[in-house]
Amino acid sequence: MQTPLVSICCITYNHAPYIHQCLDGFVMQKTDFPIEVLIHDDASTDGTADIIREYEQKYPETFKPIYQTENQYSKGIDPFRTYIFPRIQGKYMALCEGDDYWIDKKKLQKQVDFMEANNDFSICFHPVKVYNQNKGKFIENYTIPPNMPKITDIKTLANGNFINTPSVLYRNNQEVFNELNNFPNLVIGDYLFHMLFARHGKIVRLPQKMAVYRIHDQGIWSTKNAGYTYPIWLNLLKALLANFDNDKEVSRILKEQYLRTASDLLDFYITNNDFDSQEHLISQVENLLHENSYFLFIKLINNLKDEICSIRKTWTYRLGRILLTPLRVIRYLRRA
């Protein structure tokens, strides 16, 4: 058997309604190179593992799954770090979770062709379609900022994640896997991958939409509110800040992203009258970034902007919110 050029990394958990589309997207790839599909099923209870076994039996040289009998994620064990990465053979690695899928037969070929011709690039990605399972339709995808250049780098990425998971192809790099040891207590997410790989080369965006990112109620991330997702994101940014402290420009941009995220989280706490969490967040920002009044000033500006631009509220409600926001900020400045 030939050594695969691309290792497709896929994690699944209770994806039975979607896993056929995901695996068919792998099978339909037309390439002039061999691939392998490394799947980790985390003890699904809905028949996902049985579906994967069908593909394993049909394509035994390509599909290389691991079936768990106990859920590893709930034990704090990272499936990528522990079960997927040690098995990668490819020069390149692609990501696609079990509820997403690819829609272009030439996706991998197009990405590999570019990477083979451009050794100074570490990441190749493309725009995706976003499907809202609850609404039963495709919706707008705002992940990629308007007018973002085709070619970017880690400084652009440090400003925020614009790469959807099922779109990415990395140039395999052992240094990145070694760097993961700097994040021992952090469950690996795609943004951490992006940042570490971007440290070793440029980023290119191909123009075609070649994958679908699915939003549904069982999603770990996409349907959760700010009170759940933002603290996790802040924890990730905190770890990245510590890891990139020798790069002043990247650290500065990450710091700005941290402040924006903290500002939005504070707005969530204000709206929900969660005073303890407000105080804890302000203390976190002050201790980590040695910022306090600056942070609250950003909060004030963002609140004013959001209230003025809102079209969902009556003008009297918006005016009241605008007038109350400075009073809230002054209050927290005094308490901080």
For residue range 178-235, list pLDDT tens digits in order: 999 899 877 668 999 999 999 999 999 999 999 999 998 765 555 567 888 899 999 9
Sheet holding 202-205, edge to edge: 63-67, 35-41, 6-12, 92-95, 169-171, 121-125, 202-205, 151-152
Query: CB neighbours of 238 closer than 8 A, spacing ≥ 6?
Result: 258, 288
pLDDT band at 166 (very low <50, low <70, confident <90, very high): very high
Three-class DSSP category at 82: helix
- Token pair, residue 118, equals 């451009």
Three-class DSSP category at 56: helix
DSSP assignments along 118-134, one per residue: -TTEEEEE---EEEETT
What pLDDT, on a 0 to 100 scale, did the predictor assign at position 202? 98
* pLDDT tens digits along 60-83: 999 999 999 999 988 888 899 899
Q: Where in the chain is the domain with CATH 3.90.550.10?
A: 6-215
* Higher-scoring residue by pLDDT: 186, 253: 253
Query: CB neighbours of 146 closer than 8 A, spacing ≥ 6?
Result: none
Res 146 pLDDT > 80:
yes
pLDDT band at 162 (very low <50, low <70, confident <90, very high): very high
Domain 6-215, CATH among 3.90.550.10, 1.10.1370.30, 3.40.1280.10, 3.30.70.260: 3.90.550.10
For the chain, what percent of residues have pLDDT higher than 90?
A: 65
Q: What are phi and psi of 47, to 5 degrees?
A: 95, 5
What integer is the mean pLDDT of 31-60? 98
pLDDT band at 157 (very low <50, low <70, confident <90, very high): very high
What integer is the mean pLDDT of 5-19? 97
Res 292 pLDDT > 90:
no
What pLDDT, on a 0 to 100 scale, did the predictor assign at position 296? 57
For the chain, what percent of residues have pLDDT higher than 70?
A: 83
d(CA 126, CA 106): 13
